[in-house]
Amino acid sequence: MFKRIKYLTFVGFLIFYVLTLSTTVASASNIQDTSLEDFFDNTMNFKIDKYHIPNATVSVVKDGEIVYKKGFGLADIENNIPVDADTTLFRIGSTSKLITWTAVMQLVEAGKLDLNTDINAYLDFEISPQLQKPLQKTIAKPITMTHLMTHTPGFEDYPDMLFRLSADELMPLNEYVRNYLPARIFPAGEVAAYSNYGTALAGYIVERLSGMPFSDYVEKNIFTPLNMNNSTYRQPPTLDSPALIAKPYRFINGSYTEASSEYIMLDPAGSMSSTASDMANFMIAHLSGGAYSEGQILKEETVKEMHEQHFTYDPTLGGMTLGFMEGVFNDKEVLFHGGSTMLYNAGLYLVPEVNTGIFISYSGGNLLLHSEVFQEFMDFYYPIKAEIKGVPDEGSRERANKFIGEYQMNRRSVTTDEKIVGILAGGVINVNVNEDGYLLVTNGGETNKFIEIESGVYQNLREGRTQDAFGQFHKIIFKTDPFGKIMLTTDGPMTYSKAPFYSTMSFTALAAIIIMLIIFISLTYWIIIKILGLFRRRKNKNSEFSVIASWVGICTSIIILILFANIFSSGIDPVYQLPKEAYMPAEGNPLLDFIPTLMWIFSCLLVLFTVIVWKKGIGRRIAQVHYSIFTLAVLGLMWLISYWNIFN
């Protein structure tokens, strides 16, 4: 359990740090020629140098043809093997989901699957209609495939069990979806909260309806017709061709360090490996009504349905199609999806209006580099000079006051000890208002200024790419979530609900600091008293009880310090940028696992002793007050631990 606690703490802070480091760099001035080749050569080389990217690959398609493809850097530094866009594979993370959703639409087209039918009809286990806390007595409407494809099934999110370093630790898809079925915390179709499990569940339905293992189905029905001979969901990648996967590296202390292979627990959600050329074929098919060369993976009307918007909170926001995120970049509608593993990143972008697609993948670097390159591509080839001007209307500051606060990502767990992970992992947006009435919104370490354009609707004054990984973040609209809390909605499959003061990170951090100071100072005080007591000859009549009470306090303090020392003792792996608990099975420690029980026992003893101290007037008043403050501090800590499910 305590290895999990260390993981939960460090992975959250680390991912937040990574998101904060992602920066947008305008590089139009670095482009010396208007040709496509010069643009991507110059832009990618600039990014590779800036972010120390060891290897990368790019492909661009237009009007049904590959117009650019190239590898950058070395796929194998030790053996000096360069990246080849045709034969070097990269892990593409969640971009894999687009292939999974394409497989789903094939089954819809074949009449085996209905998008609006309860998915329980296709499963060999049941997903309960009951929502968990705080709506634990609510019976919700069934989850459908449309909900899975738009990331609105209402599942809570479990960040652990995503990555491993050994294939021996993988489990069959049917076991995973059964053993790690998340609780339902939102009514289906009402709250956008990105879900890896939802995609894995869809992949399992593909298995059941096709009668084939998921990877076999995709190879036969998508990869083969599209001539994607160097693509696979298998781990490690096994192919009949001589293609090799680019080795992942991390730039550490001035040189590149190779990482071990990584394995994704949910195959349909993120285990695919592919080349730039293969992904170009996939983009051509989606831009050409499902056709590629002489093959056809989907009918034109099916592709059209898949690319249409199926969920949004407002027509002016980018929402979700059946699998693609959507947004408006430089006045052009774009369908896209990014993906990240511990070591690789990827992004795929389709611009149907100009029949163009771009795919970028790389290892060891900036989380949002692919989106930076795409935005610069749009700025260079389709520039706009849209500039939002004006000043807030009278009364806008007063209207904005109710929106001030901390908004926490709805992609989170509420029933497990991972409750705090999504929040620590950059899942917080802070909203404030300045004296002029502008809304100041901090997301991913970056603060943007928004202006009110109508009640509850605000427009970002900044053009270009922002730090949000799920969309443009150019407009935010405040709604109400199913629990009656104010909810911040924006582009893409993510929403944020306003947190009550007691669950904000500022309150939690401040409370934890104050509590730990009280405990540390009290422990120091009692130890000093014990040492001085060794030299005293006189004892008062209450000394025996006082000794017992102080020892209870000392033992409680030591247990708490052991708990926190264990949590913060884990080191961060410089290659994976995570503690080992994030990708290695937790090993139980019977002694440490008994700490929760000890803390509850000593908390009860503290309350009992505090009552006795006051009731019988034992000790001086200042000692009584101190003991009471210490007891309240410990009870406050137990409340924090209970609220955040740390001992679950």
pLDDT tens-digit readout, 461-519: 876 655 555 666 889 999 999 989 999 999 888 899 999 999 999 999 999 999 999 99
Cα–Cα distance measured from residue 418 to residue 172, given in angstroms and rounded to the nearest whole number: 23
For residues 436 and 313, membership in a common domain is answered with no
Among 499, 532, 565, give the residue marking a domain's end: 499
Residue 325 in any domain: the answer is: yes
Residue showing tokens 């960040």: 159
E strands, 38-79, where? Answer: 55-62, 65-76
pLDDT at 3 over 70: no
Q: Using 50, 70 and 90 to split pLDDT, how confident is the model at 30?
A: very low
Do residue 451 and residue 593 come from a single domain?
no
SS3 of residue 106 by DSSP: helix
- Tokens at residue 124, please? 């060999």
536 and 419 together in one domain: no
DSSP 430-484: EEEE-TTS-EEEEETTEEEEEEEEETTEEEES--S--S-TTS---EEEEEE-TTS
pLDDT beyond 50 at 53: yes
**CA neighbor of 56 nearest in space, from 71, 43, 42:** 71
Residue 31 falls inside a structural domain: no
Final residue before a domain boundary, out of 480, 499, 518 = 499
Q: Average pLDDT of 32-58? A: 89
Residue 10 lies in a domain: no
Query: How many domains does the chain divide into?
Result: 3
Residue 232 counted as domain residue:
yes
Q: In what order do the strands lie in the sheet with 273-274?
A: 244-245, 88-91, 273-274
Residue with the bigger pLDDT between 149 and 136: it is: 149
Q: Are residues 328 and 434 in the same domain?
A: no
Question: 291 with 355, same domain?
Answer: yes
- Percentage of the chain lying above the pLDDT 70 cut: 87
Q: 593 vs 116, 418, 588, 605, 636, CA distance in Å?
A: 45, 17, 7, 20, 21
Q: Establish if 11 belongs to a structural domain.
A: no
| Strand-pair partners of 232 | 273
What is the rounded average pLDDT for all residues in the chain?
Answer: 87
Q: Are residues 92 and 118 in the same domain?
A: yes
The predicted pLDDT at position 34 comes to 55
Q: How many CB atoms lie within 10 A of CB 36?
A: 14
Which of 169-178, 277-286, 376-385, 472-481: highest mean pLDDT?
277-286
| Residue 27 lies inside a defined structural domain of this protein | no
- Of 591 and 153, the structure prediction assigns the larger pLDDT to 153
| Final residue of a structural domain among 465, 499, 533 | 499
Is it the case that residue 252 has pLDDT exceeding 50?
yes
Q: Which domain holds residue 547?
A: 503-644
Q: Which residues contact 534 (CB under 8 A, 6 or more apart)?
A: none
Model confidence pLDDT, tens digit, residues 202-236:
999 999 999 999 999 999 999 999 999 999 999 98
597-639 confidence digits (pLDDT tens): 899 999 999 999 999 999 988 888 999 999 999 999 999 999 9
pLDDT at 582: 66
pLDDT at 26 over 50: no
Dist CA 421 CA 160 (whole Å) = 10
Do 426 and 305 belong to one domain? no
Phi/psi for 432 (5° steps) reads -140, 175
Whole-number pLDDT of residue 574: 75
Band of pLDDT at residue 540, cut at 50, 70 and 90: low
Q: Tell me, what's the pLDDT at 511? A: 96
- Predicted pLDDT at 169: 86
Are 75 and 222 in a shared domain? yes
Whether 434 shows a pLDDT value over 60: the answer reads yes
Q: What is the pLDDT confidence band of residue 593, given thresholds at 50, 70 and 90?
A: confident
Query: Same domain, yes or no, for 285 and 337?
Result: yes
Write the CATH number for 255: 3.40.710.10
Is the pLDDT reported for residue 123 higher than 60?
A: yes
Q: Does 493 fall in a domain?
A: yes
Between helices 543-567 and 595-615, what is the axis angle to 10°? Answer: 150
Do 138 and 229 reside in the same domain of the chain?
A: yes
Q: Is the pLDDT of residue 5 over 50?
A: no
Residue 6 lies in a domain: no
